[in-house]
Structure 1
Amino acid sequence: MTSRECLDDVTSNGGTAFIVHPLGKRKITFNINLEAWNDWEHNGFTGIEIWSYLHDWIHDLKLSNLWHFYKYPNRQIKGPDPKLLSLWDRLGQKRKVVGISGLDAHLRRIPFVRKPIFTYKELFKTIRTHVLIDGELSKSDEAIQSIYKAHKEGMCYISFDLLADATGFMFVANSGDRMYHMGDEVFNIENEIGFCIKSPHPATIKLLRNGKIHREIKGTFLETSSTEKGVYRVEAYIENRPWVFTNPIYVR
């Protein structure tokens, strides 16, 4: 079965499909050779993985710096690949494409070294996908479905929570008497659309339109407006380190 056929099979059965490792990864020294996804005209996927911890960590890995990367793994995290963010912005101008994160969690043991690397306890504190849902979570089927829905609709944002807990980060828009959230598509706006961003921690906050900076501030609050259509999303940095990447609000 081809990858395209797999996607079609998932969606035809009511599933939600995401492309992980979309740019692939090739590190011959470490026996890593993952194929990139190239069939971007196919609409069978809901979204893509825009930030993978392990793929970020391994990006600049060499034999010469392996020990340093082992001792200080979180210092090597640079953020989503700019090429992938640019691709995401372009895809979003055609249709909604949800962005999620991943860890690619694989516990590793190094010969003659006692401490393993990438333990699940450590990794699960790093890059996370925060979902926006109504009410408290429980172990019910209804709660599980609400998480599925949040991922499918793009009602989520990604953060490097080891820097700071991004719980409560907010990105909304308003036009007329209506309010819009991450993942929403806005049609037939009135004269302008307003944007409001609130951060639980001081940060460099960037509102982007189609990948270009529309407004940037340092602090915890940004409020601005626009009369232009486009794919609007937010990036936030703490001391120049990548922290938050929201899903877009699409102004059509």
Structure 2
Amino acid sequence: MRTFAIGDIHGGLKALIQVLNQIEITEEDTLIFMGDYVDGWSESAQVVQFLMELSQKINCIFIKGNHDVWCENWLKDNNDVNPAWFMHGGKETIESYESFTPKEKQHHLSFFNNMTMYYLDDENRLFLHAGFTSMHGVEKESYPHKFCTDRTLWEMALVMDKKIDVNHDLYPKRLRHYKEIYIGHTPTTNYGIQVPMNAVNIWNVDTGAAFKGKVTAMNIDTKAFFQSDNLPSLYPNEKGRNG
């Protein structure tokens, strides 16, 4: 039995299929998707449809990302087009739904509604799209939207003094609660890195699929990871969120 954390997809169905073929998934595996299934490349609706069908065969956990919140709101009311969303991949997502019927869109809305904001496994490993702010852990978070928007958790981990261990008084209380934390949301390509990044007990598996990077799946036990081709090479006539 294997468990994989799969980073942000952003409408790149071709990349997702590449990664799943590499890991050769079986019915015994668990796939934890870190959010942001839509917005960027041209196959957002198709990614959602694929994931819905995949979940009928494989144990899948779907975490909600900030782009998924935008898409969910649009599916609730097609007249509600958030201008910020439209400029950051929403236009491509709307276009990807042109061939979908109202009934199919309703099924997709249910899929978004049923996503979780975070997942905690039986080994005390936390999975969420972005981060959280409460020093008491996710269950005490006062601002649930932070689960899919916060970057301070990751930024804090990046600058921590590696000499400060978990027993030190200065060790951040936010990090003490969990054995490991897996996130997406902040592309590792922002730091010139195209593979998953580790800082303290946090693993970032968003390797920039929305832009010029890849989709990544990481085995959370072995830390082996598998990656697609760079998204622009799979969608050569598109800009994704590059433009």
Q: Same fold (TM over 0.5)?
A: no
Higher relative contact order (CA 8 A, sep 6+): 2
Computing the radius of gyration from Cα coordinates, the structure with the larger value is: 1
TM-score (norm 1): 0.28
From the two aligned structures, give the one with the greater strand fraction: 1
- Structure with greater helix percent: 2
